[in-house]
């Protein structure tokens, strides 16, 4: 069986991703904060080193202006990439990398910069070996606070999340792939919708 390590497995998205991975027949090893401190040495290193697939969702819940939190989240990713030798990497990113494009009610900030940097580090990891696959999931809003944003097009339903993650887990071709995981409402999202249903946009 494929061993899949999931960081941030206890979060709102992490819990659903773990369920999808188990349903796909994967052996899952959840690594949740703060039990597994990815900023320091610990047993998580052995788990990551032995995994075939790494789904990295862990991060500091940060204010967009908080550079220290952004740095800590990026350091977590760098640490796990230093130990991971598997073939498949999936990381969480955000529409915050392009807030103007999506009409989000804030400007580009340290959170968006952290997400962009995480994507770049992940791409570099993938380029080290031609057989590796990297999937970046640029999430919209998910959870009870989604309506606070005021842009229904960015809302992400649980069913859509499950379908997108399931499709990504089935993908095999190596390379670097970015997928938008967003809601279906709103005129400015039309150019991002794939023709085969609500599974994000692979570009």
**pLDDT tens figures, 6-57:** 999 998 889 999 999 999 999 999 999 889 999 999 999 999 999 999 999 9
pLDDT band at residue 147 using 50, 70 and 90 as cut-offs: very low
Q: Which residues pair with 79 in a beta bridge?
A: none
How many whole angstroms separate alpha carbon 203 and alpha carbon 81? 23
How many whole angstroms separate alpha carbon 39 and alpha carbon 129? 25
Element (H, E) at 72: helix 67-83
Q: What is the DSSP letter of 141?
A: B
Please measure the distance between the N-terminal and C-terminal CA atoms of the chain and give it in whole angstroms.
Answer: 29
How many structural domains compose the chain?
Answer: 1
pTM of the model: 0.84
Candidates 173, 100, 168; CA nearest to 137 is 168
Phi-psi region of 146 (alpha: psi -120 to 50; beta: other; left: phi over 0): alpha
The CATH number of residue 73's host domain is: 3.40.50.720
Range from 22-36, 87-101, 119-133, 180-194 carrying the lowest mean pLDDT: 180-194
pLDDT band at residue 184 using 50, 70 and 90 as cut-offs: low
Instruction: Return mean pLDDT, the chain.
Output: 83
Residue-number span of the structural domain to which 69 is assigned = 3-202
């Amino acid at each position: 069986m494929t061993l899949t390590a999931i960081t941030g497995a206890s979060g709102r998205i992490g819990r659903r991703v773990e369920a999808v991975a188990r349903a796909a027949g994967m052996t899952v090893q959840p690594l949740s904060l703060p039990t597994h401190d990815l900023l320091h040495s610990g047993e998580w290193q052995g788990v990551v080193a032995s995994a075939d697939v790494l789904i990295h969702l862990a991060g500091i819940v940060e204010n967009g202006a908080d550079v220290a939190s952004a740095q800590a989240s990026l350091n977590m990713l760098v640490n796990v990439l230093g130990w991971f030798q598997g073939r498949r990497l999936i990381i969480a990113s955000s529409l915050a990398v392009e807030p103007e494009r999506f009409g989000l009610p804030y400007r580009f900030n340290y959170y968006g910069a952290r997400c962009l940097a995480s994507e770049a580090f992940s791409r570099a990891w993938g380029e080290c070996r031609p057989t590796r696959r990297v999937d970046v999931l640029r999430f919209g809003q998910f959870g009870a606070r989604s309506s606070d944003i005021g842009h229904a097009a960015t809302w992400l339903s649980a069913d859509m999340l499950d379908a997108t993650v399931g499709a990504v887990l089935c993908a095999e071709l190596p390379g670097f792939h970015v997928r938008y995981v967003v809601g279906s409402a709103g005129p400015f999202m039309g150019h991002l919708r794939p023709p085969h249903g609500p599974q994000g946009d692979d570009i």
